[in-house]
A and B are shown apart, each in its own frame.
Chain A
Amino acid sequence: MRTKSAPYLFLTPALVLFALFLAAPIGYAGYLSLRRVKVSGLGLGAGSRSEVWAGLSNYGRSLTDPEFVPSVLRVGAYGLIVVPCMLGLALVLALLLDAGRTRVGTFTRTAIFLPYAVPAVIASLLWGFLYLPRVSPIVDALSSVGITAPDALSSGWVLYAVANIAIWGGTGFNMIVLYTALRAIPTDLFEAARIDGASDIQIAWRIKIPVIGPSLVMTFLFSLIATLQVFAEPMTLRPLSNTISTTWTPLMKVYRDAFVRNDIYSAAATSVIIAVATFVISYGFLKFVGSRAFSQEN
């Protein structure tokens, strides 16, 4: 008896926390997404509004909102900029640090990692100041040598401006993950290659990158999820320009619906859509790449 109940006893804290802080909120969001407020007449005074079942109408409105599809496409374009740039940069920096074995290694590593420790809102404010022509030292410096910098927050550039903040903030973290994986590779692998006459680039390309494949997959997945959830950067930059709308990304639409329009029901429906999409994309990606990336581990 005692031994039978023991595993459940050990599991209880985790299960309770999971139920309270994950399952219950998700369930509640799902419930809210099927509800709506029904107002009668002028809607003033107590009793003029009641909560009723809405069926799937919140989902319908969310998906047919003329701002929803553009925001999804925008995040897609944003991801196409951020993920390759950030991971490419992180990989190159990790390989350089691993190959260089210089004395400045520790300092450089910390310096590259540091932006990750800056909260996204602070980073966005910081970059916001650098983007605004009248307060930006960069624009100042460029104009003193006769170059007119483009307005980073104008409609043609704003996507890159937001992507830049994410790349600046995220490269360090991914670099550390990849660098740690590189350090874990047994050195005899490249010593053998070096004796055979392989160059550093060949070693990186043929040995190091394939071996850290699983880490690359993991960082890619994290970046993908972060992309789908991009919120803090455009939200912080929004009041600085005309070009970022309140529904610039899907999550911003959720925020606007919930806290600006006080319509938590539509917000819940859009959240559920985003959650399902994130799950499908992540799972699909893992399914696609998983067998290849992890096969060598078995």
Chain B
Amino acid sequence: MKRTFAGVLAAALILTTAACSGDDSPQEDPDEKVALTYWSWAPNMDKVVEGWNASHPNIQVTVNKQDGGDPAVAKLLTAIKAGSGAPDVMQAEYQKIPTLVAADAVADIAKEAGDLKSKFPESAWNAVTLGGEALYGVPQDSGPMMFFYRSDVFDKAGVQAPKTWDEYAEAARKIHKANPKQYLGTFSSNDPGWFAGLSQQAGASWWGVQGESWTVAVNDANTKKVADYWGGLVQEGVIDNKPMYTPEWNAALNDGTQVGWLGAVWGPGVLEGNAASTKGKWKTALLPNWDAAAPANGNWGGSATSVTSQSKHKAQATEFVKWLNTDPAAIKALAGTANVYPAANDATSIALTAPPAFFSNQTDFYAIAAEAGKITKPFTYGPNVNVAYSAYNDAFGKAAEAKQAAGFGAALDTIQQATVGDLKNAGFSVAG
């Protein structure tokens, strides 16, 4: 009895040493069997990954479904702090990448990945390189903002799809006047990413790098212009002040009291889930513009696939990440099965030929999306987006509840203070 136990123990020890030496050796054995874990919250990602597993018997990837971008990052940072428990591959929203880099949670895969720059739009590439030589992930999906509106309501009120923000305000007034229950949109204190996208369109970039210091410009003139604009509409009462993504908002979309939405390219899925009974009545257009002569756009959402700093199989993980986001079959699966808008430049030609089902009558849906992506302005995220975003929730929650235009500009100052204060307190060098 004792002898068998010792034998098993010895065998286990030998196996462990073998495994360790495999990890440590710089020359990777091409036939080595590797198991990778991948944290993602995109629907059906496991089915997308099946395509990889079938053709790569030696690198098997297991998808671990996450609740969403925020909880996944919180879990990852906890695992990094603990020293173990992180996956090999991780879906990471663009705005989280500086935070993850600062926490040393994601690996630089520039060497392993090779040259991919030409395959992705500039704004997405900038987000995964932070403007430098390192590569902290491969762009997976992007979210150029788009305007969705109920064409039947617009026709009835005699309103055209607005091309400028002035026209948007005018349309909001007309629609609310024709039917006081109806609103063209809502100002959401719950969606900092949405407001950041609108500010990006106006030319803001809330963070920046100046030499060896960060700059923070949440309350710059461009963002102030956006905040004042929305504050004015909320105070006037022609735009609702309730947050998005609540049962209340869903019901309002479905029963036709919210007749427009400044969403992003992934919006059809949201509308289909929340406002199924209005199918066929929606149309899409580019976001209204500040200057009709120089159209611009912002981004809401989008994520990259990164390799974590705890992965013991960086080369294999990078290979998988590359496949997932550049291989035509994978891009097709991402668009068709996981329902994301792939970031790769050739996604529109490979995968996105037919419009989404909810917009089946709008054949140029993806042409508009591609145009929206093309005119998206650059925007740099900083290492404490989380702090700025939670300050946004609180400051704009107060402002939206008070319905006073002056409060909207003041909310930006509050966010700016919180963001700069947090950076300085942590020891980051901050310019200005």
| B-binding residues in A (CB < 8 A) | 36-46, 48-49, 61, 67, 128-129, 132-135, 154-155, 239-247, 256, 259-262, 264
Contact = CB atoms under 8 A, between A and B. Distances in A.
B99 interface: yes
Given A39-B426, A42-B212, A135-B247, A242 B241 contact: yes
B247 A240 contact: yes
Given A129-B247, A154-B401, A242-B401, A39 B104 contact: no
Interface stretch (B14-22, B59-67, B340-348, B386-394): B386-394
A262 B422 CA distance: 11
B289 to A, nearest CB: 28
Interface string B403-432: 000000000000000000010011111000
20 contacts: A36-B426, A38-B426, A39-B102, A41-B428, A42-B209, A42-B212, A42-B213, A42-B383, A44-B102, A49-B104, A129-B247, A132-B246, A133-B248, A239-B245, A240-B247, A242-B243, A245-B398, A261-B390, A262-B74, A262-B99
A241 B243 contact: yes
A145 B386 CA distance: 46
B394 A245 contact: yes
Contacts of A67: 394
A262 B251 contact: no
Contact of A132 (B102, B248, B309, B389): B248
A44 B309 CA distance: 13
A39 B398 CA distance: 32
B245 A134 contact: no
A242 B400 contact: yes
A40 B390 contact: no
Interface string B185-221: 0000110000000000000000001001110000000
A39 B427 contact: yes
**Which residue, A45, A241, A244, has most C-beta atoms of chain B within 10 A?**
A241
B104 A45 contact: yes
A134 B252 contact: yes
B401 A128 contact: no
B270 to A, nearest CB: 15
Given A242-B397, A260-B70, A262-B386, A134 B426 contact: no
Given A42-B213, A261-B387, A239 B190 contact: yes
Contacts of B130: 44
Contacts of B429: 40-42
A247 B426 contact: no
A245 to B, nearest CB: 4
Contacts of A49: 102-104
Interface in B48-81: 70, 74, 77, 81
A133 B248 CA distance: 7
Contacts of B134: 45
A41 B104 CA distance: 15
Closest 4 CB pairs of A and B: A242-B397, A242-B401, A39-B427, A132-B248
B98 interface: yes
B386 A37 contact: no
A262 B390 CA distance: 12
B285 interface: no
Contacts of B99: 262
B390 to A, nearest CB: 5
B176 interface: no
Given A36-B426, A43-B383, A46-B309, 9 more contacts: A45-B104, A49-B103, A67-B394, A132-B251, A134-B251, A240-B247, A242-B398, A245-B398, A261-B387
Contacts of A41: 212-213, 428-429
A244 B104 CA distance: 33
Nearest to B383: A43
B283 interface: no
Contact of B98 (A36, A44, A241, A242): A44
A262 B387 CA distance: 9
Given A42-B209, A128-B247, A132-B248, A262 B397 contact: no
Interface in B257-271: 257
Nearest to B73: A262
B386 A260 contact: yes
Given A242-B243, A262-B103, A134 B248 contact: yes
B242 interface: yes
A240 B248 contact: yes
A132 B389 CA distance: 25
Nearest to B309: A46
B250 to A, nearest CB: 8
A245 B81 CA distance: 28
B214 A243 contact: no
Of listed B213, B248, B257, B401, residue having the most chain A CB within 10 A: B248
A224 B21 CA distance: 57
B375 interface: no
Contacts of B370: none
Contacts of A45: 101, 104, 134
Interface centre among A42, A45, A241, A264 (most CB of B within 10 A): A42
A240 B394 contact: no
A135 B251 contact: yes
Given A37-B426, A42-B213, A129-B247, A245 B103 contact: no
B428 A240 contact: no
Nearest to B254: A134
A130 B147 CA distance: 31
Contacts of B242: 241-242
A267 to B, nearest CB: 12
A43 B248 contact: no
A41 B212 CA distance: 6
Contacts of A247: 394
Contacts of A256: 390
B209 A246 contact: no
A135 B247 CA distance: 7
A240 B130 CA distance: 34
A259 B74 CA distance: 6
A44 B52 CA distance: 32
